[in-house]
Amino acid sequence: MGKTIIIGAGISGLSAAFWIQQQGVDVEVFEKNHRAGGVIETLQEEGFLFEKGPNSFLDNAPDTMALCRDLKLENEVLKQSMRTNARFIYLNGKLQEVPIGPGGLIKTELLSGKAKRGLLKEMFRKANRSKEDESLASFIRRRLGDEILNNMVTPFISGVYAGDPEHLSLRATFPLFYELERNHGSLIRGMLFRGRRKKKEQKESSTEGAARAKNMCSLVDGMEVLTQALARALGDRLHLNSPVAEIRRKPEGGYRVMIDGAQPRPAEADVLVLAVPAYNASALLEPILHQSSGYLHTIPYNALSVVGMGYSRDAVKHECNGFGFLAPRNQGVRILGSIWSSSLFVRRAPGGYKNFTVFIGGGLDPEAFALKDEELLQQIQTDLKITVGAEGKPVVRRIFRWERAIPQYPIGHVEHIEDLQREIASTPGLFCIGNYLDGVAVNDCIRNARRVAREVVNILKAHEPGIPKVAV
């Protein structure tokens, strides 16, 4: 059977390689850095556990849960603590809980009476059923108004994408909103329709508990447990400190990969999977994809600082019983928000202490990345004092800087990626995976990695007479 080379050992590349290997296919992974895992990295220090990158995943994703089972990590999966579904927004000098459902929106203090009346009128606003993309901000402003955009949507987008909704594609970031307006003429009408249909499906289902749970999850000793388990499973098929200088298609088919590093060497394979950031993929693909690889170079990545702060429980006035909070830009604080890590999961802080993961910078405040360490820490301490009443200096402070943290999906992103995928599909044995394509979450990366793994295995097995295709 043929061979597969994967470039990049983040969660996408590792997951794809694992599932390909499980099917008996020869696979090698080349990673330029000294460690596998990409942006997933966990630090444990003085009884605190800090995540430098992604901190969790939802358990309603079958591919992620299947990966944990295949790695025999079921007993390591850690579900969120009680009441951590509560999320807050810092507005008008206090933390206010984000409402759930239409009834909560009517009662919340996050919105003025005018904004609430505007929300009720949303069903009667003229729908835009054009296929043209627009910014997320434009859509929310048009359907729901400036106040909902500024007080709720923009903070949320800053928390998920570290981005600015004025520059993000509606179709790429919230495709559901796009479809609801096109199909139902209104967000509210569409959501009501979906709610009724979901209840009907659950009622008609013969399987008890047919609806998937939506619990936030991690691993007992942090997210890096997952990538470390994948790296161990790959064994000597994973090559660290092995940057790829160039890739070429061979005239007879397949690919030739030039490995740089201490011992430069070539490697050859029938199938090539690129699991690297968009800017790296663009450079490597330029000799192969002549039409669409250039777009990858233009995808922006916002800079973000992630800071772990450990405080004595007695030093924090707010109960911090929930997931965390977000802060709109006009509320007198500079941080984007904070995850209350020790409330979300057990074993994130010693007894009697709280663990905060704080985010600052992103597309709305790019200058924050240039702050010196002490300036950054002082700003965060000041903002935590304002928002949660954290007094004095924290007992632990750790800064993690990401110059290129999260890829942004600009207007027209969906169409550009569709063009890219069409060109890739016409190039035998070539695949791309990663968070710049179709979703930035861990679950998105794993889902797409499994899909590509399935396609790779079936391509290679199609050339082996008498061997049936498989579902990875």
**Which CA distances in Å does 103 have to 107, 119, 229, 352?**
7, 12, 44, 37
Q: Distance (Å, rounded) from C-alpha 136 to C-alpha 347?
A: 37
* pLDDT band (50, 70, 90) for residue 209: very low
Give the least confident one: 112-116, 405-409, 449-453.
112-116
| Chain mean pLDDT for the chain | 93
At 262 the pLDDT is: 75
- Express each pLDDT in 53-69 by its tens digit: 999 999 999 999 999 99
Cβ–Cβ < 8 Å for 409, 251: no
At 318 the pLDDT is: 96
User: CATH 1.10.3110.10 in the chain, residues?
Assistant: 111-204
**Which CA distances in Å does 222 have to 22, 90, 116, 219, 348?**
25, 28, 40, 5, 9
Structure-model confidence comparison of residues 207 and 459, the more confident one: 459
Percent of the chain with pLDDT over 90: 85
User: CATH 3.90.660.20 in the chain, residues?
Assistant: 300-407
* pLDDT band (50, 70, 90) for residue 235: very high
At 461 the pLDDT is: 84
Q: Which residue's entry shows tokens 């079936």?
A: 458
Share of the chain residues as helix, strand and coil, in percent rounded to the nearest 5: 40, 20, 35
Give the least confident one: 181-195, 198-212, 265-279, 358-372.
198-212
Q: Report the amino acid identity of residue 286.
A: E
At 83 the pLDDT is: 66
- CA 435, 439, 440, 442 torsion-angle sign: negative
Give the least confident one: 197-201, 315-319, 377-381, 423-427.
197-201
CATH entry 2.60.120.10 includes domain 111-204:
no
At 214 the pLDDT is: 81
Span 405-411, average pLDDT = 97
Q: Does the pLDDT of residue 129 top 90, yes or no?
A: no
At 202 the pLDDT is: 72
DSSP code for 316 = B
* Class of domain 300-407 (CATH, top level): alpha beta
Q: What is the dihedral of CA 345, 351, 352, 355, to 10 degrees?
A: -40
Structure-model confidence comparison of residues 128 and 203, the more confident one: 128
Indicate the fold that domain 3-39+225-299+410-462 takes in CATH.
Answer: FAD/NAD(P)-binding domain (3.50.50)
Q: Does the pLDDT of residue 212 top 80, yes or no?
A: no
At 183 the pLDDT is: 93
Q: Distance (Å, rounded) from C-alpha 292 to C-alpha 103?
A: 46
Cβ–Cβ < 8 Å for 160, 167: no
User: CATH 3.50.50.60 in the chain, residues?
Assistant: 3-39+225-299+410-462
At 208 the pLDDT is: 45
Span 156-173, average pLDDT = 96
Task: Give me 19's structure tokens.
Answer: 């599932």
* pLDDT band (50, 70, 90) for residue 438: very high
Cross-strand pairs, 217: 57, 79
At 130 the pLDDT is: 86
Q: Does the pLDDT of residue 205 top 90, yes or no?
A: no
Q: Does the pLDDT of residue 354 top 60, yes or no?
A: yes
Q: Does the pLDDT of residue 400 top 50, yes or no?
A: yes
CA atoms within 13 A on the CB side of 310: 20
